[in-house]
Amino acid sequence: MNWNGKPYHSLDFMLKERFGDKIYKLALNGGMTCPNRDGTLGLRGCIFCSQEGSGDFAGDKCQSVTKQINEQKAKLCQKRNARYFIAYFQAYTNTYAPIEYLTAIFTEAIEHPDIIALSIATRPDCLSAEVLELLDTLNQKKPVWIELGLQTIHPQTAQYIRRGYDLSCFEEAVRNLRTLHIEVIVHTILGLPGENENALIQTMEYLNKQDIQGVKLQLLHILENTDLAKDYKAGHFTVYEMEEYINLVISCLEHLSPDIVIHRVTGDGPKDLLLAPLWSSAKRTVLNTLHRTCKARSTWQGKEFYGRITDFI
């Protein structure tokens, strides 16, 4: 099968089928914090998280949602014929705020005429009944996606990264969201200290049994001024070389259900903060190498591989 000249069924292709056009994602900053930072669960955040709460590429929290959307639109339109966008609330925990505030910013985003869907990154333990009610209302207007930061299913790793909730909390959140017909995208991290390929495959096989619609395969990258950076500099663990990582991604794709859309296959950080692996900043090289490797492995265990991979930002 050929998907617009590619050997895989990309998210980009799926979005064109669903919405009839090329869709771009706008990373927004709602000015949130996180229970892992404000003292509710902890003060230092997850061990890998930057001071920007994983929103290093998001908009300026001092600007209105509309202004963030319009400024990012303008930049994209200078390079591409961009018309339609997904509003992605990326920084920190984006349902961790008073319901009145959440209602205001999410409504402002979803009612923007050029926004065709709303994607919200959050924690499973920050989805109260009133938040779910709000998400349900928004989902009646335009599609709403919730992105949950699971990272791993293994308790020892979860404790090390200071995740702060257990699997039962994640499973309850998925059930509640799917009852409302809200699509769920799960963030995982490849290369966490102490996890080998077998441990990672166990996470993938666990996700196959959950009612989720998408997965992000995120490369572990080390950012300066994080507790993870301290452990890395102390020699407590190493990071993948590019070839190792690509082979691991392909192994994940082998084990994931083809019904689950892959939203991301790598990751990087700001170049002024990125400590390792430095090759991750050459994202186009990483993706091209991955795509070539996928084409070279067009059959796995007798099954055709259509890829389902993309890096959608």
- What per-residue confidence (pLDDT) applies to 195? 96
Residue 309 lies in a domain: no
Report the half-sphere exposure of 132 (CA within 13 A, side-chain side): 17
Residue 312 lies in a domain: no
Residue 102 lies in a domain: yes
* Structure token digits, residue 236: 């407590």
Give Cβ neighbours of residue 172 (< 8 Å, ≥ 6 apart): 124
- Region 108-116 average pLDDT: 96
Residue 28 lies in a domain: yes
d(CA 116, CA 271): 31
Q: How many domains does the chain have?
A: 1
> Are the C-beta atoms of residues 183 and 142 closer than 8 Å to each other?
no
Q: pLDDT tens for residues 31-40?
A: 999 999 999 9
- What per-residue confidence (pLDDT) applies to 6? 43
Give Cβ neighbours of residue 195 (< 8 Å, ≥ 6 apart): 152, 154, 157
Residue 171 lies in a domain: yes
Report the half-sphere exposure of 66 (CA within 13 A, side-chain side): 6
Residue 1 lies in a domain: no
- Decide which of 8 and 152 is more confident: 152
- Decide which of 6 and 215 is more confident: 215
d(CA 169, CA 147): 14
**H-helix segments, the chain:** 11-19, 65-79, 99-110, 129-139, 155-160, 167-179, 197-208, 227-233, 242-255, 283-296
pLDDT band at 308 (very low <50, low <70, confident <90, very high): very low
pLDDT band at 86 (very low <50, low <70, confident <90, very high): very high
pTM over 0.85: yes
d(CA 182, CA 134): 12
- Region 286-311 average pLDDT: 63
Residue by residue, DSSP assigns 117-173 as: EEEEEE-GGG--HHHHHHHHHHHTTS-EEEEEEEE-S-HHHHHHTT----HHHHHHH
Q: pLDDT tens for residues 9-45?
A: 577 777 888 888 889 999 999 999 999 999 999 988 8
- What per-residue confidence (pLDDT) applies to 165? 96
Residue 19 lies in a domain: yes
- What per-residue confidence (pLDDT) applies to 292? 87
Residue 3 lies in a domain: no
Q: What percent of the chain has pLDDT over 90?
A: 68
Here the CATH number for the domain that contains residue 71 is 3.20.20.70
Residue 38: give the domain boundaries.
Answer: 11-304
Give Cβ neighbours of residue 265 (< 8 Å, ≥ 6 apart): 217, 249, 287, 290, 309, 310, 311
List the one residue out of 262, 249, 259, 239 whose CA is nearest residue 297. Answer: 249
- Region 111-139 average pLDDT: 97
